[in-house]
Amino acid sequence: MTAPVVTRFAPSPTGRLHPGHGVAALAAYDFAVARGGRFLLRIEDIDGARSRTEHVEAILADLRWLGIVWDEPVVFQSQRLAWYEAALDRLRALGLLYPCFCTRKEIAREIAESMSAPHIGPDGPVYPGTCRALGQAGRDRRIAGEAHCWRLDMAKAVAMAGELHWTDHGRRVRADPLAYGDVVLARKDAPASYHLAVTLDDAAQGITDIVRGEDLFPATHVHRLLQALLDLPLPRYHHHALVRDGNGERLAKRNGAPTLEALRLAGVDGAALAAELRAGRVPLGIFASKA
């Protein structure tokens, strides 16, 4: 017998949800319901400086309004920091992490001054590896007194993990995380990065199927590698297309899309909006008149 399906929606409470989030939440919820599975909600609030309780409250109200019901209590990443620390220790013991003392400015300068063209990864210019070259003595000298993040030595990690794949909508995809360069796994200002926390939590919550927007498809290369390094189970992935407005732009606050909260408070019927979003329609008329 195959294991029962478990999906999740994992918003970061750094702002209000917009209709694009609604589409992602409904896709994950419907996937579980259609298979008699469970749907979980996880609040990704490791970014203490940008996460706000008021956003969490609005997110929960928006999801309920769209008719989404979650199983089990909501999980908050801010309560799982010890778990992330343990995984970092394990990767450190494997010799795969190094402390990085560079500021954003220093990295930008280094890239600008480099003779070779910068490598552009899925998240922007790739870290040039400056601190990877520091010897142990240099690290020991600086670590106590200087702010630092922890980076994954990507080449070493890829060599250790060997060839990896995942399935996306049932199709086999070869993981190629090298393009990301030495990603940050513990930030200077947060005890874990998105990549580490999301991978660990999906495993801890027993997520069998990750249904999320295709904007996160590239990040899956890194997540697949972390699963291999940390001996975590491999979920199936189902990245879906993003909803776009009439100009082909993603629906986000910055291009004027109203938040779900604004629509809710304006009296829009949540069930009717959910039906439109499920059908891939963005009822722009509602937005213009009510938001």
**Bridge partners of 75?**
42
> From CA 211, how far away is CA 241, in angstroms rounded?
11
DSSP 250: B
Tokens of 113: 């001054």
Q: Could you say whether residue 6 binds ligand GLU (CB under 6 A)?
A: no
* Strand blocks (E) in 119-235: 120-121, 124-125, 149-152, 165-168, 171-174, 184-186, 209-213
Q: Using the rule CB under 6 A, which residue among 5, 6, 7, 10 binds ligand GLU?
A: 10
Residue number with CB closer to ligand GLU (92 or 240): 240
Residues in 177-206 that interact with ligand GLU by CB under 6 A: 198
**Bridge partners of 41?**
9
Q: Binding-site residue total for ligand GLU (CB under 6 A)?
A: 7
Tokens of 151: 């980076």
* Strand blocks (E) in the chain: 6-9, 38-43, 75-76, 97-100, 120-121, 124-125, 149-152, 165-168, 171-174, 184-186, 209-213, 236-240
Q: Could you say whether residue 78 binds ligand GLU (CB under 6 A)?
A: no
Shortest reach from residue 251's CB to ligand GLU, in Å: 14
Residue number with CB closer to ligand GLU (111 or 252): 252
> From CA 105, how far away is CA 183, in angstroms rounded?
17
Q: Could you say whether residue 235 binds ligand GLU (CB under 6 A)?
A: no
Shortest reach from residue 225's CB to ligand GLU, in Å: 15
Residues in 31-50 that interact with ligand GLU by CB under 6 A: 44
Residue number with CB closer to ligand GLU (101 or 180): 180
Q: Using the rule CB under 6 A, which residue among 6, 7, 11, 201 binds ligand GLU?
A: 11
Residue number with CB closer to ligand GLU (44 or 62): 44
Q: Using the rule CB under 6 A, which residue among 16, 38, 195, 212 binds ligand GLU?
A: 212
Q: Could you say whether residue 55 binds ligand GLU (CB under 6 A)?
A: no
> From CA 8, how far away is CA 24, in angstroms rounded?
10
Site residues for ligand GLU per CB under 6 A: 10-12, 44, 198, 212, 216
